[in-house]
Every structure is written in C-alpha cells, then in structure tokens.
Structure 1
Amino acid sequence: MAKYTNKAGIKQQLSPHKLRHFLFTWLKKQGVDDALIQPYSGHESRQALEVYSKLAITEAQEKYDEVMGKFPV
C-alpha cells in the first residue's frame, strides 16, 4: 500500500481497512441501501453498518448551512 500511495502522491497513510471504510462510507452517502452493502462488508448485521453512516463534523456543518440557507424565514 505504501508504494502505491507514494506513487499517487497521497500523503496520508492508507491501509486496506481505511480503504474499506472509505468505500462503505462513500456508498452510504450515495444512498446505497444497507441491505446491499451488508453482504460485502463482512458485518453480521445491518446495525453494525451504522459506523459508515456518521458524517464528519465539517460535512455535517456544510449540510446544515446549505439547508438553513433555504429555510423560508
């Protein structure tokens, strides 16, 4: 992994676990249902997929600002 991240110019260290986490988080944000993700995730239950549902604080703030900007007051 280190060889390829260096070649790609990525400064952050990556591991197979981080890539997996990124993929499932990305799929959740795209609206893919847990029932479709769960068989590939290795998790026993859909409840275990909740870890991929959490938004970063910065993303949550951006979404909040976007929605509040449309608030009709």
Structure 2
Amino acid sequence: MVFVPFPHSFKEMLSMHADPMRKKHAIYLFESSWKKKYSDRGVCKILAEHSEESELAQNLSPHKLRHFLLTWLKRQGIDDALIQSYSIHESRKSLEVYSKLAIPDAQQEYNEAINKFLI
C-alpha cells in the first residue's frame, strides 16, 4: 500500500476537486478527458509541461518530487522509521541517499563548528 502525505490544509483543496469528480461519476480521482487514469508517461508529460512553463532549469519528474520530499523530511529531523513508511524502502539503509547534503547546505554548520575550534 502506498501512502501519500500531505498537509491538513490540503484537504479542503482536495475536497474541492473530489466533489465535482464524484458528481461526474469519475472512476479515478484524477483522470484524463477520456475518463481513463493517467499513465506514468502522462504524469511525466504534465510535469514536463509545468516545468517548462515555470522556466525551471530541469524538468520535474515523479521521482524527483519524491526525492525532494524525502530529502526535505530528513532535513526536518524526521526519524528514518517514520520516513520509511512513506518511502516504501525495504530498509532504513536505503534512506541514506536522502541524508547526503550538498556543500552549500553544510557550509553554515561547518563555519559555526570551525569558529569554535581552538587554534
């Protein structure tokens, strides 16, 4: 089973979408104009279009969004055991990829630590 985390504030917006879909007797919460579920390729195409409209340097993909969310959760100090249930990784060891911070992310902490170093 896959869980999709979202903030409580999103519930109202999701409800505003779900109610009309229910009235249209939609089978899927998000479906194409042909009343079919979106394929993986279709979702990637939609994200690519929005990436282009937003003038992003790189196209978004479901994988990049997932990676961003899991990295963000790690940076917020969320325990791996909690992240693992959303990530669908078999082991916590697999979550290590999300722990790797870029140099700019670590620079401030490095500067603070080095300033405490006694010379």
Fold shared, TM-score > 0.5 on shorter chain: yes
Identity among equivalent positions (%) equals 60
Q: Which has the larger radius of gyration?
A: 2
TM-score when normalising by structure 1: 0.82
1:50 partnered with 2:50: no
Q: Which residue of 2 aligns with 1:16?
A: 62
* Structure with more contact order per residue of length (Cα contacts < 8 Å, sep ≥ 6): 1
Aligned residues: 72
TM-score when normalising by structure 2: 0.54
Cα distance between partner residues in 1 of 2:117 and 2:102? 27
Shift of 1:72: 6.4
Are the equivalent residues in 1 in contact too, given 2:52–2:59 (CA < 8 A)?
A: no
SS of match in other structure, 2:56: coil
Cα distance between partner residues in 2 of 1:10 and 1:42? 28
Shift of 1:53: 0.5
Deviations 1:5-45 (A, max 9, x none): 23334232111111111100000000000010001101001
Q: Which residue of 2 aligns with 1:40?
A: 86
User: Gaps (5+ residues) in structure 2?
Assistant: 1-46
CA RMSD of aligned residues (A): 1.6
Task: Return structure 1 stretches of 4+ with deviation > 3 angstroms.
Answer: none
User: Gaps (5+ residues) in structure 1?
Assistant: none
Q: Which protein is richer in helix relative to its size?
A: 1
